Amino acid sequence: MYNLIGAGLIVIGGGIGLGQIGGKAMEGIARQPEAAGKIQTAMIIIGALLEGLAFGALLLA
């Protein structure tokens, strides 16, 4: 039961984080379309780091 609540909290946290990353990247690309490639790569890396964190927590939950 508690681990399910924990899993839910992790998903909420991860979702907020991914939303922030994605949103800011979109803003960045809209402001500077020529830097889209670089922004995308950086976005994927940060997303992956966040994902690693969230999955690690999910395994423990």
Partner 1 sequence: MIAKKSIKIFTILAVVFSSFTSYATSDGSTEKEGQVNSPESINAYIKHHLADSHDFALYSYTNDAGERKHVGFPLPVMVWTSKGLKTFMSSEFHHNDDGHVIVDKGDVKLTKIHSKIYELNEGETHVAFDDQHHATNAHKVLDFSITKSVFGMLLAGLLMLLGFSSLARGYKKGAIPTGIGRVLEPLVLYVRDEIARPNIGEKKYKKFMPYLLTVFFFIWILNLLGLTPLGFNVTGQIAVTACLAIFTLIIYITNGSKDFWQHTLWMPGVPVLIRPVLAILELAGFILIKPFSLLVRLFANITAGHSVVMGIAALMILLKAKFGTVGATGISFLLTLFLSVIEVLVAFLQAFIFTMLSALFIGMAVEEHEHH
Residues at the site binding partner 1, with contacts judged by CB under 8 A: 41, 44-45, 48-49, 51-53, 55-56, 58-59
As given in the structure block, the two tokens for residue 27 are: 């803003």
Helix ranges (DSSP H) in the chain? 2-31, 36-60
Rank residues 29 and 50 by Cβ distance to partner 1 and give the closer one: 50
Rounded CA gap, 54 and 33, in Å? 30
Q: Shortest distance, CB of residue 17 to partner 1, whole angstroms? A: 14
Q: Shortest distance, CB of residue 57 to partner 1, whole angstroms? A: 10
Amino acid sitting at position 8: G
Rank residues 15 and 56 by Cβ distance to partner 1 and give the closer one: 56
